[in-house]
Amino acid sequence: MKSNFDFNTYLFISKKKLIISAYRENNFEKIYEKELQLNEQLEPISYQELDNFLNDNIFRIEKKLDNFIKKIIVIIDTDQFFLIQLSIKKKDIENLIDLKSLSYLINEAKENCKKTIDERRIIHLIIKNYKIDNENYVSMPKDVIKKNFSVDLEFICLSNEIIKNLEKILIKYQISLGQIVNASYIREFLTNEESENIFLITKKILSGYNSNEVILVNKSNKNQGFFEKFFNFFN
């Protein structure tokens, strides 16, 4: 089989259905898609159903792609996500808030969040509001004199147990778990034209479609540096 990676594979998981799809990276042409309707389960994820579903489809996808699937992006539709909202403030600012100093503040908030989420992992980190001298802003304004600055953040977290169970199933097929995405969050960005394709919006979100989402980067990725990367931050 080929070793190039010109496609992405997506897995949608809910109590009602499972969907697996493969799309070309460059033009988002659908290569493969299979959906399985489920009898609604009591547990958030039916791991046995998921394992059977992957067993029925992974080889078929790889045969059609003439390529191995190395990782899967997983969209999860469940009420098991845990939200934390907090604000971080900085008073008596004498200079402009730039990307580096804002990243430092957000990283401080992230570390504080980690102390309270127990056995959960941060999936999304979203800037909900900027407050500068008692004025609210949806995005970070330029050239504003700042004395007092605060940022309101929302952390969307998921149980490590769920993540480990998914990893355990995927490793059976020599596949690693890629990004995890909250389906409810993704749906906020669906338009009428894209209402049938949650995977396209997922691709956009993971590419920085929401300029107020902080894209979390593994610290082992030396090219990204210490802080998370902001997309389109000062647009």
Q: What is the pTM of this model?
A: 0.84
**If DSSP codes are grouped into helix, strand and coil, which group holds residue 1?**
coil
Tell me: pLDDT of 59 over 70. Answer: yes
Residues 6+ apart with CB under 8 A from 127: 106, 151, 152, 153, 212, 213, 214
Residue 53 identity? F
Q: 74 with 168, same domain?
A: yes
Which of 8-17, 87-96, 186-195 is predicted least confidently? 87-96
Q: 71 with 172, same domain?
A: yes
Q: 62 with 96, same domain?
A: no
Which pLDDT score, from 0 to 100, does residue 96 have?
60
Say which residue, 156 or 150, is predicted with more confidence: 156
Q: 46 with 75, same domain?
A: yes
CATH of the domain at 46: 3.30.420.40
For residue 229, tell me if it sits in a domain: no
For residue 218, tell me if it sits in a domain: no
For residue 170, tell me if it sits in a domain: yes
Give the domain extent around 38.
Answer: 7-79+159-209
With 0-12 CB in 10 A as exposed, 13-18 as middle and 19+ as buried, what is 142?
Answer: exposed
For residue 225, tell me if it sits in a domain: no
- Outline where 66-182 has alpha helix (H): 99-114, 160-171
| Total count of domains within the chain | 2
Which pLDDT score, from 0 to 100, does residue 5 have?
60
Q: 87 with 154, same domain?
A: yes
Q: Which pLDDT tens digit goes with each residue over 108-147?
A: 888 878 778 888 999 999 999 888 777 787 777 666 656 7
Percentage of the residues of the chain whose pLDDT score is greater than 70: 79
Q: 87 with 151, same domain?
A: yes
Which pLDDT score, from 0 to 100, does residue 222 have?
44
Q: 98 with 148, same domain?
A: yes
Is 152:128 a contact under the CB 8 Å cutoff? yes
CATH of the domain at 103: 3.30.1490.110
Cβ atoms < 10 Å from Cβ of 83: 11
Measured distance CA(183)–CA(126) in Å, rounded: 15
For residue 2, tell me if it sits in a domain: no
